[in-house]
Structure 1
């Protein structure tokens, strides 16, 4: 099974640091406006959120795997709740690559697979190099087209 690019850990950890910073700013704003919240408690929450986010990023990276099989895309992910997903190519509607500003800054991309069925039925594979994301998008598109022709 294929793993994600190691830089995705920094992306996920940075997200946790931003969350910790926002919580810290909100907590210190409460202290500043006289709400009886201990400043050391706010600092402790910020530290716990930042450390937990960094640890979670490492654990997520260690679990996240995907594989393009003969008839489906198979994904394994999740730290507390492990999720194994098999997406049959016959269910694939279309495939996109996505690169947000933070992903571009780190040099990463995601592949998003949209499936038939329920609303919001999409699978994202994060933490890929732009080249790998493009190759994977094209391969998944071709396999989905082949499976559609075979189903007819």
Structure 2
């Protein structure tokens, strides 16, 4: 099974820092305007949120794997709840690559696989190099097209 680019950990760490920074900022502003907020407790909460986010980012990277199989895309992910997903190519509607600002800064991309079925039935594979994301997008597109012809 294929793992993600190690730089994705940095993106996840940044994602973990944001909630902690928001909690700390709200606490500091509340104290500045005179609200009875225990600043040390709020900052401790922010530190706990950041620490849990950092630990989750490390474990998330260790678990996240995917494999392009003959008949489906197989993904393993999840820290507390392990999720194994198998997406049959016949269910794939279309495949996109996505690069947000943080991903562009880190030289990463994501592949989004949209599937037939319920609303929001899409799978995202994060933490790929742009070249690998493009290759994977085209590979999945071709496999989906072939499976469509095989189903007929």
Q: Which bracket does the TM-score occupy, shorter chain normalised?
A: over 0.9
Aligned alpha-carbon RMSD (Å)? 0.7
| Stretches of 4+ aligned residues off by more than 6 angstroms | none
SS in 1 for 2:93: strand
Q: Deviations over 1:45-96 (max 9, x none)?
A: 1111111111110000000000000000000000001000000000000000
For 1:56 and 1:147, the matched residues in 2 are separated by: 36
Provide the residue aligned with 1:13 in structure 2: 13
Larger CA deviation: 31-40 vs 91-100: 31-40
Equivalent residues in 2 for 1:105-144 (5 A)? 105-144=105-144
For 2:10 and 2:120, the matched residues in 1 are separated by: 27
Q: TM-score, normalised by structure 2?
A: 0.98
Structure 1 unaligned spans of 5+? none
Q: Is the 8 A contact 2:24 2:43 kept in 1?
A: yes
Q: Deviations over 1:83-127 (max 9, x none)?
A: 000000000000000000110000000000000011111000000
Query: How many angstroms does 1:24 deviate by?
Result: 0.7
Query: How many angstroms does 1:34 deviate by?
Result: 2.0
Query: How many angstroms does 1:36 deviate by?
Result: 1.5
Q: TM-score, normalised by structure 1?
A: 0.98
* Aligned pairs, number: 152
